[in-house]
Amino acid sequence: MLHRQDVGHRVVIRRLAGTRDGRPLFSDVLGQLIDLSETHVTVTTATGTLQVPLAEIHRAKRVPPPRRPATRDTIALEHAANEAWPAPVQDRLGDWLLRAGGQSDQTNSALPIGDPGRPLDAAIAAVARWYAERGQRPLMTVPLPLAAPVDAALSERGWTAGPRTLVQTASLAAIPDPSRPDLPPVTVSSAPSDAWLALTATHTATPLPAEAEHPLTPGSRLRYAHAYADTGELVGIAQGVITGGGRWLGIAMLEVVPAARRHGVARRIVGALAAWAREEGARDVFVHVAEDNVAAVELSRRLGFRTHHRRRTRAAPAAGSDR
């Protein structure tokens, strides 16, 4: 049977689907376990999110993840994200990136990819010193499974782990650009309007990230999507960046006001940014989705995204702790 430690992992469930001629019929469910309660398990599958009553489960177990993405693909995608939303301050420790001065985890954390040019213990200590010199708590954004050895070493040293993030990707050719008349119009502009900035400040848990307006790496291209209701009110926003040598569209800060959710606004916004990116020659698109945000994971699935890899941010033990 499944346990709490299986949440977040790929599982297969054999459930009772009925009877025929007095004999039980079974069906199998394969997907990611996202919740386990006293009465149900919730699984995200290739076709949607499914709740299965515990009473219907004949057997269930964790199964190995699908084939890992190639190392070079994960490295390229992480560097494309870094290029899309660069930290104001960047330095290097061998191949590792040291980033500071932003307001998000990505722009305020080290990216431990490649060879730091020294043993792992010394590299972790050097990262800690670099952030301490700037008066910041050391953070590392760790791509998984690529940097699993680094993740394990940080865990052993008491670095706390934040929630995991799914790096989701899709082909731009598969993203539709719906033009139904009942959907709000979307404009794609090179700068955010005052209403765009106000909506971000009102409907997100943290202040507007510095990377929303920070100058991009030369050669990157940036657009802001605005979705309007019939009244002229701004009801949805997102930011799109073409990065990674022109291959990738990165989408961030996708937000729809509560009253307009579940009406296709997010799909329309993503479609509009995808249409712009296709015209610019981009081929693929990525988003970062919190793994424990069930609604966002389901939305990205319906839009055609699939998980490329995972990442999580680890924070060094607070000053004065035992470790």
Min mean pLDDT across 131-135, 184-188, 212-216, 316-320 is at 212-216
Whether residue 119 is found in the same domain as residue 53: no
Same domain, 123 and 251: no
Q: What average pLDDT score do residues 171-183 get?
A: 74
**Selected residue with higher pLDDT from 135 and 263:** 135
Q: In this structure, are 219 and 283 located in the same domain?
A: yes
Would the pTM count as exceeding 0.85? no
Find the mean pLDDT for residues 215-244.
83
Same domain (yes/no): 192, 281: yes
In the chain, the DSSP E strands lie at 10-20, 23-36, 40-45, 48-53, 57-62, 89-93, 96-100, 139-144, 160-161, 165-171, 186-189, 221-228, 234-243, 248-256, 284-290, 306-315
pLDDT-above-90 percentage for the chain? 54
- Both 189 and 155 in one domain: the answer is no
Q: Based on the domain organization, do 180 and 136 belong to the same domain?
A: no
- Is there a domain that residue 223 lies in? yes
Whether 93 and 119 map to the same domain: the answer is: yes
Residue 322 has pLDDT above 60, yes or no: no
Which domain range does residue 301 map to?
Answer: 168-310
Cα 236 to Cα 256: distance, rounded to the nearest angstrom: 4
CATH number for the domain including 32?
2.30.30.100
Is 78's pLDDT higher than 90? yes
One domain for residues 267 and 198: yes
Residue 184 has pLDDT above 50, yes or no: yes
Q: Residue 9's pLDDT is what?
A: 79
Pick 264 or 165 by higher pLDDT.
Answer: 165
- Does residue 143 share a domain with residue 200? no
Please state the domain count of the chain.
3
Give the residue, 47 or 97, on which the prediction is more confident. 97
